[in-house]
Amino acid sequence: METKHSIETPTVILSINEEGIGHMHFKDRINMDIAEQMDNLKHLIEITNNKHTPFVITAGEHVTITREARENAIKIEAISPMFGTAVVAQNFAYKLITDFYLKTQKPKRPFAIFTDKDKAHEWCKQYVVKK
């Protein structure tokens, strides 16, 4: 599906496709902290026009997120336009980390883990807000 709009930050590449599904890709070798997380939230609000939008999340190699940023993710969940988060765990380590996050932080919005990007994209379709 063709990208309609994209924004690049120092840590992620955000895009929205023609179907209204977002993609957030964490760049290689980053360690996301709260300041970067909040900067990305600002850009998420911008790219979605602050409307609930499902997102497929992917990550490059050697991506880490600080404990503080993981805890903050739940605190900012209510103000994030991300609604319907499909994390693609490309390897066993990312799957373990995502499973741990899901069990300990308990997101209140729809959240699923996939090993296949196409299946994640399909899952997100149910959360696209029709105009």
CATH number at residue 67: 3.30.750
Quick one: CA torsion of 21, 42, 4, 22, rounded to 10 degrees? -20
How distant, in Å, are the alpha carbons of 7, 13, 15, 45, 80 from that of 41? 12, 12, 13, 6, 7
Residue 131 falls within a domain, yes or no? no
Does the residue 80 lie in any domain? yes
Whole-angstrom distance, CA of residue 7 vs CA of residue 52: 17
- Asked if residue 23 lies in contact with residue 15, where contact means CB atoms within 8 angstroms, the answer is yes
The structural domain count of the chain equals: 1
Q: Are the beta carbons of 21 and 121 closer than 8 angstroms? A: yes
Asked whether residue 28 is domain-assigned, the answer is: yes
List pLDDT tens digits, range 78-94. Answer: 999 999 999 999 877 77
The reported pLDDT for the residue numbered 5 is 86
Q: Give the CA diameter of the chain.
A: 38
Per-residue pLDDT reduced to its tens digit, 42-75 = 999 999 999 999 999 999 999 989 999 988 988 9
| Cα–Cα separations (whole angstroms), residue 79 to 51, 64, 73, 109, 112 | 10, 23, 10, 12, 19
Check pLDDT > 90 for residue 20.
Answer: yes
C-alpha to C-alpha distance for 112 and 116, rounded to whole angstroms: 12
Judge whether residue 9 has pLDDT over 90. yes
Looking at the chain, which runs of residues are DSSP E strands? 3-8, 12-17, 22-26, 31-32, 53-59, 64-65, 82-88, 111-114
Domain that holds residue 32: 3-126
Q: Residue 6 pLDDT > 70, yes or no?
A: yes
